Structure 1
Amino acid sequence: MKTVPVQDAVGKMLCHDITQIVPGFFKGRAFKKGRIIKQADVDKLLDMGKANIYVQDMKPGMLHEDEAARRIAEAAAGGGLRLSEPAEGKVNLISTEKGLLSVNTDALSRINEVEDIMFASRHTHFPVQPDMPVAGTRIIPLYTDEERIQTVEAICRHFYPLVEVKPFTPVKVGVVTTGSEIYHGRIEDKFGPVLRKKFEELGSEVIEQRFVSDDIQMTVDAIHELIARGAEFIALTGGMSVDPDDQTPTSIRVSGARVVTYGAPVLPGAMFMLAYMGTIPVVGLPGCVMYYHASIFDLVIPRLLTGETLTKKDIAAMGHGAFCANCPDCRYPDCPFGKMG
């Protein structure tokens, strides 16, 4: 690559995209890398403030920004992603699935420590839709030493995949709603409709809802009966606090489920319980899930529906970023709630 005055560039190959910005009207590529400069281009380039431009003069062992970005992106991308064409030296990773973004943040940091390299992503565990850009990479200069790209590729091989989208797996959900006031018809259940909607948005279906009193054996029987009827996920509502009549956590333990945690460093959602009946997740959902747009449900349940088996350490790690600001107009997931790192 070498610098030449625009007037002397006619007939030479442009070695990078040139972006034009017209405030309030346009920002985009005006000249594409590889273009052979024509006499008619000179005035436009001068109008854009380009008195000098870079033309092709690459030395052996060097990579152009487009090729470098493409190689980094190809090495990093896992399932559920496609790559954009290089534009202005950048390649984006774009979701092809509805699911959760998964980013190896340690490996991402290692890559960004390599000279000349940048790689940015949305937060890990961000819910994504098809055709959503989730990450992008490029080199800082127009050219870089190929050895640096090889270093990045080695990191990606070791930690593969650096970035992927984990699709949601549809499951049959059984709901157990506890509480004598609902069981005896004194008040209307408002939790069930909320859960049906939330699970449907994640691609799963509530196949049945059982109502039980504040009775441990009734609750245990309902859990086992729903599993026998084909439920692949059990959600319990009601009775999750420390009041004497709240027996749901005890019922989950008595059911034979292996308890991972009772309590989570998430607000709203502290009185959450996660357990497993074999491989079937059993969750005790506090009342906040019914009232808040975003809560512990939105941080944990989507991960379970991608097939993750969460540990107490996973739940403990949620504390950083899991304090909801309770904004008047909730913007979740486009907000800091639940974002780690």
Structure 2
Amino acid sequence: MKLIETKNAVGHVICHDITIIIKDKIKDTAFRKGHIVKEEDIPVLLSIGKDHLYVWEKDAAMYHEDEAAVILADACEGPGMKRSNPKEGKIEISAAVDGLLQIDVERLCRINSLEHMMIATRHTNTAVRAGDKLAGTRIIPLVIEKEKMQQVKAIAGKENPLLTIHPFVRKTVGIVTTGNEVFYGRIQDTFTPVIRQKMEQYDVEVTGHHIVGDDQEKITEAILDLKAKGVQMILCTGGMSVDPDDRTPGAIRKSGAKIISYGAPVLPGAMFLLGYFADGTPVLGLPGCVMYAKATIFDLVLPRILADITITREELAVMGHGGLCLGCDVCHYPTCGFGKGV
């Protein structure tokens, strides 16, 4: 660092906090370490008795922390996001739209393995709303070597940011409620209201609903009717276990949908079924736990379905890591560990 006259300090970096004290009125930090002096700062500095400043000597091989923070933010920020102004080497990135947040975890870890910098994010495959905080970046020292930031640029590349928000694009759903007990009016349908409530949270409209008994042919007909009417996804409730009267999995198969998996390593939700029609329309078989459990496999896959992210059998297998709900007396999902391993 070097000592310079304050009147000549514009553009220089202050290398220590500067405190302002006015008796009985204020004692605070007027300028923080790392602040880049602006023209309008000069009268303020002089008024608090700072005729001279210690500043960092400019080095062509180094970035100021705020300059480097911008490079980290550039590596992270994708469409549908906004960032804060750099401050003390920190930048925060927030969502500007609703959607599914996905993180390139491999590249994130490579950057975080570099010295003197960090990026902290939400978990990948998280549903976010406009205004939600997504990530925070920080340069640890006041200045950092440009060569290190070139490594960040090389890892990040120019094409794909580390963070991506996929907007929710599926806006209509058809429901097939199965079971003789509901079809014949022996009990009230308490499953469909739960589904409708979950759809409302994502502004998805229920545009078709069939109630059918434990008849495989009728269930298949109901699925195909909704498909012909153009719903963007189909949800089948009930009849998903291995009991003799449970015909929903067979009916979904008979509809012509390609079954990705019948069963998922998630509790609650093991008897979940996922399939896709040839045009990409998803059809889901929802186990009974979706009706009464606060968080299930359905809550983990729904944001991806709505964002039109095709789910593979391999991705369902990975959901076993973190896929055990602890059944807390007071449910805190999604601010808990359930599903956070995926």
- Please, which moves more after superposition, 326-335 or 300-309? 326-335
| Residue 316 of structure 2 is aligned to residue 315 of structure 1 | yes
Aligned residues: 322
1:173 corresponds in structure 2 to: 173
Per-residue deviation, residues 183-202 of structure 1 (Å, max 9, x unmatched): 00100101111111111211
1:145 corresponds in structure 2 to: 145
Change (3 A) 1:42 1:179: farther
Amino acid at match of 2:59: K
Give how far 1:64 is off: 0.6
Give the distance between the partners of 1:61 and 1:296, measured in 2 at CA: 51
Give the distance between the partners of 1:294 and 1:302, measured in 2 at CA: 13
1:250 corresponds in structure 2 to: 250
State how 1:199-210 maps to structure 2 within 5 Å: 199-210=199-210
2:36 corresponds in structure 1 to: 34
Give how far 1:41 is off: 4.2
Amino acid at match of 2:61: G
SS at match of 2:14: coil
Unaligned runs of 5+ in 1: 21-27, 44-52
State how 1:101-180 maps to structure 2 within 5 Å: 101-157=101-157, 160-180=160-180
Amino acid at match of 1:139: I
8 Å contact kept, 1:17–1:88: no
Give the distance between the partners of 1:210 and 1:91, measured in 2 at CA: 50
Change (3 A) 1:160 1:328: same
2:300 corresponds in structure 1 to: 299
Give how far 1:157 is off: 1.4
Give how far 1:15 is off: 3.4
Give the distance between the partners of 2:174 and 2:16, measured in 1 at CA: 55
Give the distance between the partners of 2:192 and 2:244, measured in 1 at CA: 24
Per-residue deviation, residues 184-226 of structure 1 (Å, max 9, x unmatched): 0100101111111111211211111101111110000000011
Per-residue deviation, residues 112-140 of structure 1 (Å, max 9, x unmatched): 11222211101111221111211011211
Amino acid at match of 1:191: F
8 Å contact kept, 1:79–1:166: no
Change (3 A) 1:269 1:158: farther
Change (3 A) 1:282 1:19: farther
2:61 corresponds in structure 1 to: 61
Give the distance between the partners of 1:264 and 1:17, measured in 2 at CA: 56
Per-residue deviation, residues 244-286 of structure 1 (Å, max 9, x unmatched): 1111111111111100001111111111000001210000011
Unaligned runs of 5+ in 2: 20-27
Give the distance between the partners of 1:215 and 1:169, measured in 2 at CA: 33
Q: CA RMSD in A?
A: 2.4
Give the distance between the partners of 1:124 and 1:332, measured in 2 at CA: 16
SS at match of 1:218: helix
Change (3 A) 1:268 1:29: farther
Give the distance between the partners of 1:317 and 1:337, measured in 2 at CA: 13
2:216 corresponds in structure 1 to: 216
SS at match of 2:328: coil
SS at match of 1:319: coil
TM-score (norm 2): 0.88
8 Å contact kept, 2:170–2:233: no
Give the distance between the partners of 1:41 and 1:220, measured in 2 at CA: 80
1:261 corresponds in structure 2 to: 261
Change (3 A) 1:316 1:159: farther
Give the distance between the partners of 1:42 and 1:312, measured in 2 at CA: 68
Give how far 1:76 is off: 2.3
- Please, which moves more after superposition, 303-312 or 328-337? 328-337
Amino acid at match of 1:289: V
Give the distance between the partners of 2:98 and 2:17, measured in 1 at CA: 34
1:50 corresponds in structure 2 to: none
Amino acid at match of 1:34: I
TM-score (norm 1): 0.88
1:15 corresponds in structure 2 to: 14
Amino acid at match of 2:288: G
1:336 corresponds in structure 2 to: 337
Amino acid at match of 2:250: T
- Please, which moves more after superposition, 251-260 or 322-331? 322-331
